């Protein structure tokens, strides 16, 4: 059986203000889920809580991943377990190349698994990185650039997809990856995600709009409203939202 991320009755507050009010969601390796909802419904809060952002206070519920209580794990432990978050607004790190960043990430994982590990050799890392970049149809020069420094919106998101590939995520959360992208950049990023999707990776696409789902076809669509998942269905649910907006959700669940 593959990895399973199971969110059970999750309650989260920020500065004592409740944001998530009992979220239930299960994502298995190999599945693609979309989480949609109006602004302020709690979508990005859920993503940040999954990776351990310290600003969010969990006041109830559980998150089980790989049979462990995710909420008891540090952020780096969650990453090593196979959880990955592609940020809505990736941070620039001038002076650190994308290649060095990825090699350090791999070495830290190897060290955690075996304190005597000397990490991945430079030739082996280069071979692996080139093969991942070829697979994602990325120019090799990209790896020598400083991480997200001077990157366009599309390049930042492609760098996130490369990280997802190199770190071999079991469950990947894409937090509004479509925000700020023109249609060409969106298509390129979606192609990268589609190449990585498969039995080894479960994906949660968090989005406000249907348009990214034209390229990344979800099997399951969930609607979040006022901190709860209030509707779940197939890909047709996203199309219904595109045609009718969120007013019917508000009316039904107000």
Tens-place pLDDT, residues 31-87: 999 999 988 899 999 999 998 999 999 999 999 998 889 999 998 889 888 899 888
Residue 1: the pLDDT is 56
pTM to 2 decimals?
0.92
Residues ≥6 apart with Cβ < 8 Å to 225: 37, 38, 41, 246, 249, 250, 253
- Cα 204–chain centre separation: 6
The CATH 3.40.50.300 portion of the chain extends over 4-91+170-253
Contact 173, 86 (CB under 8 A): yes
Cα(197)–Cα(211) distance, integer angstroms? 18
| Superfamily designation of domain 4-91+170-253 | P-loop containing nucleotide triphosphate hydrolases (3.40.50.300)
Cα(5)–Cα(147) distance, integer angstroms? 29
């Amino acid at each position: 059986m593959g990895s399973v991320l199971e969110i059970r009755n999750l309650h989260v507050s920020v500065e004592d203000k409740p944001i998530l009010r009992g979220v239930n969601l299960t994502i298995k390796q190999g599945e693609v889920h979309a989480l949609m909802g109006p602004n302020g419904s709690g979508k990005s809060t859920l993503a940040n809580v999954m990776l351990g952002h310290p600003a969010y206070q969990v006041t109830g519920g559980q998150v089980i991943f790989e049979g462990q209580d995710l909420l008891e794990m540090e952020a780096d432990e969650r990453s090593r377990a196979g959880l990955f978050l592609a940020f809505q607004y990736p941070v620039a790190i001038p002076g650190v190349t994308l290649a060095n960043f990825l090699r350090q990430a791999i070495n830290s994982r190897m060290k955690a698994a075996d304190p005597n590990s000397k990490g991945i050799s430079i030739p082996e890392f280069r071979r692996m990185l080139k093969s991942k970049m070829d697979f994602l149809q990325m120019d090799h020069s990209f790896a020598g650039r400083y991480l997200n420094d001077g990157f366009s919106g599309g390049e930042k998101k492609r760098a996130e997809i490369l990280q997802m590939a190199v770190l071999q995520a079991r469950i990947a959360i894409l937090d509004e990856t479509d925000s700020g992208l023109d249609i060409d950049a969106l298509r390129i990023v979606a192609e990268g995600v589609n190449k990585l999707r498969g039995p080894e990776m479960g994906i949660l696409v968090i989005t406000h709009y249907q348009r990214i789902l034209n390229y990344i076809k979800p099997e399951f669509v969930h609607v979040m409203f006022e901190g709860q998942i209030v509707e779940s269905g197939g890909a047709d649910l996203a199309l219904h939202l595109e045609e009718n907006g969120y007013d019917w959700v508000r009316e039904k669940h107000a």
